[in-house]
Amino acid sequence: MGSSFTPSIKDALSGNASEKKVSDQVQETTYNEYENFSDPYTIEQLTEKWNEFLEQIADRPNLCSTLSTVPELIDGNRLILKVGNSVQEEDVRQIKPELILWLRKELRNSGIELITRLERLETERTHFNDSEKLQILVQKNPNLNELKQIFNLDFKD
């Protein structure tokens, strides 16, 4: 007797072949297998499975960077993922079906939803003019201000 994914030659010759196509069976198993599960899960379990998914897409560094933050869990099954720009939002939109299917399967919960929220992420300022650099360094070591005066150093802004 054949498996549920491969039709049996014997069954086909005897007229007992299943009317469903193999691709329909595979698709049904893939998408419907987890539709009735509602197992509870913790943020730790979500984080673990989220990181496992990131390992699977390690060959896509921009997407990994976008998904590097585990989403916030609200209302039991709603995941809110904050993204910094529309490009990241589009990247998430493209992989969202695969990601949701993975999470539903791994966490055995068909109610999982992923929502992206576009938020300007605060970044630390990295470009400073010479005077600002000196002020930062003087805060770390006040003796630098004394050296500036001794050597009569002046910075143009």
Query: So what's the pLDDT on residue 129?
Result: 82
Q: Assess if residue 90 is contained within a domain.
A: yes
Indicate whether 94 and 53 sit together in one domain: yes
Q: Assess if residue 9 is contained within a domain.
A: yes
Nearest to 77 by CA among 115, 22, 51: 115
Rounded CA-CA distance 53/63 in Å is 11
Rounded CA-CA distance 102/112 in Å is 10
Strand-pair partners of 73: 79
Q: Assess if residue 38 is contained within a domain.
A: no
3-52 tens-digit pLDDT: 445 666 776 677 665 544 444 444 444 444 556 788 899 999 999 999 99
Rounded CA-CA distance 29/4 in Å is 10
Indicate whether 48 and 99 sit together in one domain: yes
Q: Assess if residue 147 is contained within a domain.
A: yes
Residue 148 CB contacts under 8 Å (≥ 6 apart), including other chains:
134
77-126 tens-digit pLDDT: 999 999 989 999 999 999 999 999 999 999 999 999 999 999 875 666 67
Rounded CA-CA distance 42/73 in Å is 9
Indicate whether 99 and 154 sit together in one domain: no
Residue 156 CB contacts under 8 Å (≥ 6 apart), including other chains:
130
Query: So what's the pLDDT on residue 8?
Result: 66
Q: Categorize the per-residue pLDDT at 153 as very low, low, confident or very high, splitting at 50, 70 and 90.
A: confident
Rounded CA-CA distance 99/93 in Å is 10
Residue 72 pLDDT more than 70? yes
